[in-house]
């Protein structure tokens, strides 16, 4: 529909999208050189909420650093908890009890659904449809209530402990989660009718924002962005951690590589997360949630360690260099949207601003996680 016109550089102007702009959902700035409504060039400017979490890791003991994980990606904080717990457990060789692993999976998947719900609402809002946002937040609220009862916080979770969890789940949580699954299955059907099948939405998303596999490789895009481009890559599957191999779930992959494919991936993922939660609740074993034997003081042996998890936005990798002390010598947080957003600069060239912002929304940005 929109063939990029030949752009004439001498007739351009610079449009600052952000740091305060309704479409960036946070303090992200994209300096767009425009030719009329066509984007000639875009340069993303980051760092408006950079907090230097990596330096904080060098000043805190390992358990003290756990709360920082909730502050990176405020929408899927649970996955970040998981990633950090994994790397320290790997370094210190801590065994995690079976029950704790299952509860971890349940909470992470619930959090993933909550994250995708916020994305869905905000994305349709970007496209000018306000109502789905309210429905999404309504459903998300139920997840937050469930998680709040168990973890004590609504958004910035610090629920995981090395080798286990802070708190065991109770029967209320289990019945509540089961009720939510039944309720949310119906809601997903409603979203499919209200949003997915909408003609205007399809026209705006199909064929726009192309990301091909080579681009994914060059930029290191992961998560729904890669899966929307036909790359069957999900850390839960490709590099199984925790008890994910126990569950039967599908990794949705769409080959179109456009905004609509990424949209469908996330919609499908919510469904799959429901399946995982259901199976985990069925199989949930009894037992302790914290290991019997656990070092009093977390002091990983010298060396470097790596762990990766699949967050709602893609591959979150955490590289920890230890010198054997109480604090990490170096902690590198590899956040998924950092790489996913990077390809925006290249991909949006020649797009109309409306399509480019629809594309940006389909990358599902969470700015604190990019800026760290």
Partner 1 sequence: MSLTLFNVVLAVIIAISFVGLNAAYLVWCERKGAGLFQRRPGPMENGPWGLLQPPVDGVKLMTKQLLIPGGVDKAIFMVAPVLAMFPALISFVTIPFSENIVAHPIDVGVLMIFAFAALGGMSLLVAGWGSRNKYSMISSVRAVSQTVAYEIPLMITTITVVMISGSLNLGDIVQTQLGGFWHWNIWPLQKQVGFNLLMPFSFLILFVCSVAETNRAPFDLGEAESELVAGFHTEYSSMGFGLFFMGEYANIVIGACLTVILFLGGWACPVGDLGFFPFTHHVGWFLLKIYLIIFVFIWIRWTFPRTTIYGLLNLSWKYLIPISLFNLLLTAGLLKVF
Partner 2 sequence: MNIQDKTREALSTLFADMPSPEPETDDGEEGEEKPEIRGNGILEQDYHAKGFHLDVQLEPNQLIEAVRIIYDLGYYLESITGVDWIKEEQLEVVYDFSRYDFDLCRTVVRTRIPRTEPHLPTITPIYTGASWHERETHDFFGIVFDGHPHLVPLLLPEDADFHPLLKDFKA
Q: Using CB under 8 A, list all residues that contact partner 2.
A: 46-47, 50, 52, 54-55, 58, 87, 90, 93, 216-222, 226, 231-233, 237-239, 301-308, 315, 317, 319, 321, 329-330, 332, 334, 338-339, 342-343, 346, 371-372
Residue closer to partner 2 by CB (options 9, 93) is: 93
Please choose, from the candidates 146, 104, 159, 100, the residue with its C-alpha nearest in 3D space to the C-alpha of residue 285. Answer: 100
Strand partners for 310: 315
Measuring CA to CA, how many Å separate 117 from each of 91, 144, 210, 216, 363?
34, 12, 23, 24, 14
Q: Which does 321 bind (CB under 5 to 8 A by kind): partner 2, partner 1, none?
A: partner 2
Cβ atoms of 39 and 350 within 8 Å: the answer is yes
Contact code string over 176-205 relative to partner 1, x by CB under 8 A? ------------------x---x-xx-xx-
State the minimum distance, in angstroms, from the CB of residue 270 to partner 1: 19
Number of C-beta neighbours around residue 300 at 10 A: 26
> Judged by CB under 8 A, which of 85, 118, 125, 243 binds partner 1?
125
Cβ-proximal residues to 128 (8 Å cutoff; 6+ apart), any chain: none
State the minimum distance, in angstroms, from the CB of residue 23 to partner 1: 5
The C-alpha atoms of residue 123 and residue 128 are separated, in whole angstroms, by 9
Q: Write down the residue that tokens 């302790």 correspond to.
A: 288
State the minimum distance, in angstroms, from the CB of residue 48 to partner 1: 17
DSSP 193: I
Altogether, the residues listed in the chain come to a count of 372
Contact code string over 75-114 relative to partner 1, x by CB under 8 A? ----------------------------------------
Cβ atoms of 289 and 164 within 8 Å: the answer is yes
Please choose, from the candidates 79, 60, 61, the residue with its C-alpha nearest in 3D space to the C-alpha of residue 69. Answer: 79
State the minimum distance, in angstroms, from the CB of residue 47 to partner 2: 4
Q: Residue 324 interacts with partner 1 (CB under 8 A)?
A: no
* 307, 309, 313, 315: CA torsion to nearest 10: 40
Contact code string over 204-223 relative to partner 1, x by CB under 8 A? x-------------------
Using CB under 8 A, which of the segments 120-128, 143-151, 308-316, 330-338 binds partner 1? 120-128
Residues near partner 1, by CB under 8 A? 1-2, 13, 15, 21-23, 37, 124-131, 134-135, 138, 194, 198, 200-201, 203-204, 352-355, 357
């Amino acid at each position: 529909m929109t063939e990029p016109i030949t752009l004439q550089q001498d007739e351009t102007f610079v449009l600052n999208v952000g740091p305060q702009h309704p479409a960036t959902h946070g303090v992200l700035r994209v300096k767009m050189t425009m030719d009329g409504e066509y984007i000639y060039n875009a340069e993303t400017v980051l760092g408006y909420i950079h907090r230097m979490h990596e330096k904080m890791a060098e000043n805190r003991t390992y358990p003290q650093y756990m709360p920082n994980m909730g502050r990176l990606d405020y929408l899927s904080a649970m996955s970040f908890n998981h990633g950090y717990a994994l790397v320290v457990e790997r370094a210190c060789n801590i065994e995690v009890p079976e029950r704790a692993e299952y509860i971890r999976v349940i909470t992470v998947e619930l959090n993933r659904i909550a994250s995708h719900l916020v994305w869905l609402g905000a994305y349709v809002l970007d496209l000018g449809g306000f109502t789905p946002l309210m429905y999404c937040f309504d459903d998300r609220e139920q997840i937050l209530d469930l998680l709040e009862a168990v973890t004590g916080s609504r958004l910035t979770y610090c629920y995981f402990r090395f080798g286990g969890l802070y708190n065991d789940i109770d029967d209320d949580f289990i019945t509540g989660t089961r009720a939510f699954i039944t309720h949310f299955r119906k809601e997903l059907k409603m979203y499919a009718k209200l949003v997915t099948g909408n003609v205007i939405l399809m026209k705006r998303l199909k064929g726009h924002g192309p990301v091909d596999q080579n681009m994914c490789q060059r930029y290191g895009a992961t998560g729904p962005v890669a899966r929307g481009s036909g790359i069957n890559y999900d850390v839960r599957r490709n590099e199984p951690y925790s008890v994910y191999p126990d569950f039967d779930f599908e990794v949705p992959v769409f080959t179109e590589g456009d905004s609509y494919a990424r949209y469908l991936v996330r919609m499908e993922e919510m469904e799959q997360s429901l399946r995982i939660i259901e199976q985990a609740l069925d199989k949930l074993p009894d037992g302790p949630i914290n290991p019997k034997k656990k070092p009093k003081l977390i002091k990983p042996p010298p060396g470097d360690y790596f762990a990766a998890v699949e967050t709602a936005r893609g591959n979150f990798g955490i590289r920890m260099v230890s010198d054997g002390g109480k604090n990490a010598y170096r902690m590198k947080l590899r956040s998924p949207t950092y790489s996913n957003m990077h390809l925006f600069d290249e991909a949006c060239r020649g797009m109309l601003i409306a399509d480019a912002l629809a594309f940006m929304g389909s990358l599902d940005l969470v700015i604190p996680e990019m800026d760290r």
